[in-house]
Structure 1
Amino acid sequence: MSQRSDIEKDVNASISNKLLVICVDRDNDVGEKAGITTPVIGRNACIDAAQRLALEDPEDADSNSMFAAIKTYEDLISKGYQVEVVIVAGIKERGVQADEKILKEIKKILEVFSANGAVIVSDGEDDESVIPVIQNVLPVVSVQRVVMKVSRSVEYSYAVFGKYLKMLAYDSKYSKFFLGVPGILLLIGGVATVFGYTEEIFAVLVSILGISFVIRAFDIDKAWSNLTRPTPMGFIRIFTMVAGILLILSSIP
């Protein structure tokens, strides 16, 4: 019975804690793009800041972090916590000066709302790098990272990329060059290494790779297949080519 009462006391004590939901904008997009001075304190003020930033730059992830911080604030309120939501920002160049500015803003907020715990909401590691700075003045009880859902265009790009990879792997028209040539090079290199020809094999591999590129670039393989077709025109082409080569060789002194 006493153990149960102790647990209830701990739960009640945690609910009575004053938490500060902090949205961190280390590079100060909210100030640079939306012209808002930080710190921004309170739900309505944070909503206004997030909306203004979203209107100025709809692709900026910081506005999503701000809305996520407001959502976290509302969730904690519904669970009985004493909470305030704020937005703090550094400077565009980040670095030490940005961290100092964020620290000053946190101290200024604590003068208005004496929290004893912080919930950090950010959109990436850069904003989260200020957590040790915040911990100097306020214990951090939770860190929430906002991950944006992938857009349809990105999903489409991945699908197209996967389609081409599959084509390179399973379509013989492409795989014999993109997989066959590297496979031959690796095989020759492995065999040469076993027999101790590591120095000479580099020149051989580069030569094979160069010949493959030349053949593919100038469609020499297609031209050769046309020449060797068993047709009257094919035989004429072969005869003409051989005769031309012989004439060139005979003209060399």
Structure 2
Amino acid sequence: MKTLVLCIDRDNDLGRKTDMDSPVIGREENLRAAEKLALADPEDSDVNCMFSAIATFDRLGEDAEIVTICGSDEIGPVSDKIIAEKLDEVIDKIKPDSAILVTDGEEDEYILPIIESRLKVDAVKRVVVKQSKTLEGTYYLISRFMEDEKMQRKFMLPIALVLFFWGLSAILGSPAWGFATVLIVLGLYLMARVFHLQGFARSLGKEVYAGLRSGKISLFANLLSLFIMLSAVVSAYNMVSTVEPAPHGAFEYTIMFMDEIVWWFVLSVMISAAGRFTDVYFKEKKVLWGYVILPFSLIAFGLLLSASLDVLIKISINGEPIQSLFTMPFLTTIIEGVLIAFIGTVLYHIAEDMYGEEEMQKS
């Protein structure tokens, strides 16, 4: 029975502070890594975990192996995926029968399921560092807590945002607005934490910055599309909320709202697609044929949906009979939509014959 003594560094402190790669396998390698991390940051809790793992390994004797696995500073799905991949690599190489997890106890609920899905966990050893309980020690711990980047992002950032917006609202004499803003900001922050949107927000910010530096047409096209959609939503809401006579229920409000924004939605998507098409054409000298056909599909979609919504409005709100389906304007609009979609399909197949199926699929 071979036991794996496992130390997990979920946020990759070892890699960031010592430039060492994981997995770190073997007692000597782990001792060297722990010493390097201790010299780089003596107050890092991972130092104590690694030394405790080495001590546990020494007590187990020969029928054991010690491994330290690091994740990523992008804590969440990214780091956990890296840990899972490296753990699979270690299991394939060492072939242990069970594991003992040595941890500082901070994020056991995230790490344990990854390990237990692959290995039988015999024990979990939590390393707690003894601290002085004097006032000076407490002050020191708080100051270190405030300097820790992980703690800053998790706890200090939301507190700072709350204090900032509350103070700003007090200066402006609008405490009610300040309280509402605090709730909104905290709600958005908690949603970002729950759904792990930090990585998405970071990549989006990098994309926007890169777009501004390189003058990407798609960036400005997307911003214009977003502005048009927001304006359309606000305008449609104002129209629906003041319409006379008032609709009877949520269904009527919904179809009226959709009828107001359908063509603005079509326009927004076309502008966004045009920006993407332009960027790819000038940067890669490639024609995105799928985007060329897109206007036909969007216009057909707009015609069919708007005609259907108009009929629903007549039947559910104006009380007109079902025969509204067979009026000439409705049938004409439906036929136009089908014809435009048919033309788009024919053009796509013509382009496919001219440029080849492989080239079309790439676009």
* Superposition TM-score tier, normalisation by shorter sequence: 0.5 to 0.7
* Structure 1 partner of 2:42: 58
Partners of 1:123 and 1:147 within 8 A in 2: yes
Structure 1 residue matching 2:99: 3-state secondary structure: strand
- 2:139 matches 1:155: no
> What are the Cα deviations for residues 120-157 of structure 1, in whole angstroms up to 9, with x where unaligned?
00112315521101111111110000000104xx5344
> What are the Cα deviations for residues 44-99 of structure 1, in whole angstroms up to 9, with x where unaligned?
0000110101111111010110000000000111xxx6100000011012101111
Partners of 1:25 and 1:127 within 8 A in 2: no
Partner of residue 95 from structure 2, selected from 114, 130, 134? 114
What is the count of residue pairs matched by the alignment? Answer: 139
Partner Cα separation in structure 1 for residue 39 and residue 6 of structure 2:
22
* Structure 2 partner of 1:194: none
Partners of 1:26 and 1:127 within 8 A in 2: no
* Structure 2 partner of 1:84: 65
Superposed, which structure 2 residues align to 1:127-206 within 5 Å?
Answer: 127=108, 129-151=110-132, 154-157=133-136
Q: Which amino acid aligns with 1:115?
A: P
- State which structure, 1 or 2, has the greater radius of gyration over its C-alpha atoms: 1
Structure 1 residue matching 2:54: 3-state secondary structure: helix
* Structure 2 partner of 1:38: 22
* Structure 1 partner of 2:318: none
Q: Which amino acid aligns with 1:59?
A: E
Structure 1 residue matching 2:21: 3-state secondary structure: coil
* Paired-residue identity, %: 41
* Structure 2 partner of 1:19: 3
Structure 2 residue matching 1:125: 3-state secondary structure: coil
- 2:77 matches 1:96: yes
**Unmatched segments (≥5 aa) in structure 1:** 1-16, 161-253
Aligned in 2, Cα 1:159/1:116: closer, same or farther, shift over 3 Å? closer
Partner Cα separation in structure 1 for residue 103 and residue 109 of structure 2:
6
Aligned in 2, Cα 1:159/1:126: closer, same or farther, shift over 3 Å? closer
Give the aligned CA root-mean-square deviation in angstroms. 1.8
Structure 2 residue matching 1:129: 3-state secondary structure: helix
Partner Cα separation in structure 1 for residue 134 and residue 90 of structure 2:
41
Aligned in 2, Cα 1:95/1:82: closer, same or farther, shift over 3 Å? same
Partner Cα separation in structure 2 for residue 158 and residue 72 of structure 1:
29
Q: What is the TM-score of this pair, normalised by structure 1?
A: 0.52
**Unmatched segments (≥5 aa) in structure 2:** 140-363
Partner Cα separation in structure 2 for residue 96 and residue 83 of structure 1:
30
Structure 2 residue matching 1:62: 3-state secondary structure: helix
Partner Cα separation in structure 1 for residue 3 and residue 109 of structure 2:
18
Larger RCO of the pair (alpha carbons < 8 Å, separation 6+): 1
Partners of 2:30 and 2:50 within 8 A in 1: yes
Partner Cα separation in structure 2 for residue 145 and residue 155 of structure 1:
24
Q: What is the TM-score of this pair, normalised by structure 2?
A: 0.37
Aligned in 2, Cα 1:127/1:29: closer, same or farther, shift over 3 Å? farther
After TM superposition, the runs of 4+ consecutive aligned structure 1 residues lying more than 6 A away are none
Partner Cα separation in structure 1 for residue 38 and residue 91 of structure 2:
27
Q: Which amino acid aligns with 2:67?
A: V
Partner Cα separation in structure 1 for residue 6 and residue 109 of structure 2:
11
Pick the structure with more helix per residue.
Answer: 2
Partners of 1:122 and 1:128 within 8 A in 2: no
Partners of 1:47 and 1:67 within 8 A in 2: yes
Q: Which amino acid aligns with 2:83?
A: I
Partner Cα separation in structure 1 for residue 113 and residue 57 of structure 2:
22
* Structure 1 partner of 2:51: 67
Partner Cα separation in structure 2 for residue 50 and residue 158 of structure 1:
25
